């Protein structure tokens, strides 16, 4: 059958819509951690380093378990993989409402929720990539826009729940919403078009024998995990991912605390964090589409430079409008980065082992994501300021842009 069936809606777009909805709840809950950050420090009397450490463990855990999540999804498909995510994350958030000791914070959030997120994101990203050859970047951009929508909506919503009830009740409500919404939607997911008797969108338009290039190549070569990890391209991507996650997670965990420290009202700071997610929606969709036209490398460089400049802007931000401007531009760049990684893995390494390769690459999420929040929390506890951490984040982004400039496609290795 053709990749574009006679029916009005190609089922791949149902996969996109379901995946987007799942990511709204998963990442909306994750990025609400920055809203709870000041509550945990104040109510429980814990230091910024201690509370940041739990989030760093969360990032490390879900970065490490991405490989197993990707392999599990390759073997068993997204519905079973997502069931693991739903159980782990909803239970973890419910238990967060009961914590009274640091080990509980680290166990429930750092390990349980961290594991759940990897088994949630991986099947969504990998499945969408499998359903599309043509317009892969666009489809992934729309899907991961759910991360931005979740941040935009749930960060201020979490702050509202804390004001209306308390932070413990807020965690219980988030746990309930997560289970009630994600479970039924996850039943719509399918690993690849063959389960519906279809071919990937645009597969019939890919000329046989074409050699892919840098501009959104449509891979006809399927690397094994071992072959992929023997290429310089893979490891440069890995380094780029580590560097970019450092400033992203500094912002997502500490932006509210940074703004409040400078005298900004709590709800204003929460809205600024939400706007990072809101702007990222535009970035994910626009840059996903743009990358289909100008290539992934050029798109990487654009978004990294935007984020780097705005990290330097953040050093001077004092007024609400300055934080909102930061959120708008940084959020666009951050959002634009997200769909590029699963897209470039599919472009450069093929789809047969996409989940496993993406899973190994995503170990970098655990490394960079663990370094960023812990570094910022420690810097603030020692110096009483976030400035050094913000500068280091900007430097990391400039280096990532340089790495993106020199990276090359890996096709020669299998030619």
Q: How many helices (H) and strands (E) does the chain have?
A: 17, 0
Domain extents for the chain?
A: 11-194+218-414
Nearest-5° Cα angle at 239, 24 to 337: 35
Taking all residues of the chain, what is their mean pLDDT, rounded to a whole number? Answer: 84
pLDDT band at residue 344 under the 50/70/90 scheme: confident
Place of tokens 């009005």: 8
Strand partners, 201: 132
Is residue 5 predicted with pLDDT exceeding 60?
Answer: no
Is the full-model pTM beyond 0.75?
A: no
How far apart, in whole angstroms, are the C-alpha atoms of residue 273 and residue 251?
Answer: 8
- Give residue 16's pLDDT: 92
Span 281-293, pLDDT tens digits: 888 778 877 887 8
Span 379-394, pLDDT tens digits: 998 999 999 999 999 9
Residue 295: which region, alpha, beta or left (left: phi > 0; alpha: psi -120 to 50)?
A: left
Span 299-341, pLDDT tens digits: 889 999 999 999 999 998 889 999 999 999 999 998 888 778 7
Is residue 412 predicted with pLDDT exceeding 60?
Answer: no
CATH 3.10.105.10 fits 11-194+218-414, yes or no: no
Span 68-86, pLDDT tens digits: 887 788 888 889 999 999 9
Question: For 180, phi and psi rounded to 5 degrees?
Answer: -65, -35
Span 214-272, pLDDT tens digits: 444 444 567 877 888 888 888 988 999 899 999 998 998 889 889 998 988 888 888 88
Give the DSSP letter of residue 101. Answer: S
- Give residue 386's pLDDT: 92
Residue 13: which region, alpha, beta or left (left: phi > 0; alpha: psi -120 to 50)?
A: alpha
Residue 357: partners with Cβ closer than 8 Å, 6 or more residues away: 70, 223, 225, 228, 234, 345, 349
More confident residue, 274 or 40: 40
- pLDDT > 70: percent of the chain: 92
Confirm if 300 and 408 have CB atoms less than 8 A apart. no
How far apart, in whole angstroms, are the C-alpha atoms of residue 85 and residue 116?
Answer: 4
pLDDT band at residue 4 under the 50/70/90 scheme: very low
Span 128-175, pLDDT tens digits: 888 887 777 778 878 878 887 888 888 889 989 998 999 999 999 999
Question: For 132, phi and psi rounded to 5 degrees?
Answer: -130, 135
Per mean pLDDT, which of 93-97, 187-191, 205-209, 372-376 is the most reliable? Answer: 93-97
Per mean pLDDT, which of 58-67, 254-263, 400-409 is the most reliable? Answer: 254-263
Place of tokens 């570094």: 375
Residue 77: which region, alpha, beta or left (left: phi > 0; alpha: psi -120 to 50)?
A: left
- Give residue 184's pLDDT: 92
- Give residue 411's pLDDT: 62
């Amino acid at each position: 059958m053709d990749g574009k069936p006679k029916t009005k809606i190609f089922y791949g777009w149902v996969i996109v819509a379901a995946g987007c909805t799942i990511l709204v709840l998963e990442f909306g809950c994750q990025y609400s951690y920055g809203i709870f950050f000041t509550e945990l420090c104040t109510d429980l009397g814990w230091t910024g380093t201690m509370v940041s450490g739990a989030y760093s463990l969360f990032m490390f855990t879900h970065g490490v378990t991405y490989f197993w999540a990707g392999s599990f999804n390759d073997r068993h498909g997204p519905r079973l993989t997502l069931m693991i995510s739903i159980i782990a994350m909803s239970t973890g958030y419910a238990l967060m409402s009961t914590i009274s000791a640091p080990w509980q914070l680290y166990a429930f959030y750092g390990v349980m929720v961290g594991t759940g997120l990897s088994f949630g994101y991986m099947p969504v990203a990998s499945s969408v990539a499998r359903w599309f050859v043509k317009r892969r970047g666009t489809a992934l951009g729309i899907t991961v826009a759910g991360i931005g929508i979740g941040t935009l909506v749930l960060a201020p919503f979490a702050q509202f729940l804390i004001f209306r009830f308390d932070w413990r009740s807020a965690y219980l409500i988030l746990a309930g919403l997560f289970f009630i919404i994600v479970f039924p939607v996850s039943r719509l997911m399918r690993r690849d078009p063959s389960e519906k008797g279809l071919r990937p969108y645009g597969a019939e338009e890919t000329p046989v024998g074409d050699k892919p290039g840098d501009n959104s190549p449509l891979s006809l070569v399927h690397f094994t995990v071992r072959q992929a990890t023997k290429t310089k391209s893979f490891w440069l991507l890995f380094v780029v991912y580590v560097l970019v996650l450092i400033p992203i997670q500094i912002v997502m965990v500490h932006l509210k605390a940074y703004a409040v420290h400078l005298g900004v009202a709590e709800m204003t700071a929460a809205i600024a964090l939400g706007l990072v997610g809101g702007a990222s929606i535009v970035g994910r969709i626009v840059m996903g589409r743009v990358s289909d036209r100008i290539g992934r490398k050029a798109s990487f460089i654009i978004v990294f430079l935007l984020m780097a400049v705005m990290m330097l802007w953040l050093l001077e931000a004092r007024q609400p409008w300055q934080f909102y401007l930061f959120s708008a531009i940084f959020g666009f760049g951050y959002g634009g980065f997200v769909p590029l990684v699963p897209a470039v893995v599919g472009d450069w390494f093929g789809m047969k082992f996409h989940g496993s390769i993406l899973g190994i690459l995503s170990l970098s999420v655990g490394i960079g994501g663990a370094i960023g929040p812990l570094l910022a929390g420690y810097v603030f506890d020692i110096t009483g300021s976030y400035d050094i951490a913000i500068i280091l984040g900007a430097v990391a982004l400039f280096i990532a842009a340089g790495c993106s400039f020199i990276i090359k496609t890996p096709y020669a290795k299998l030619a």
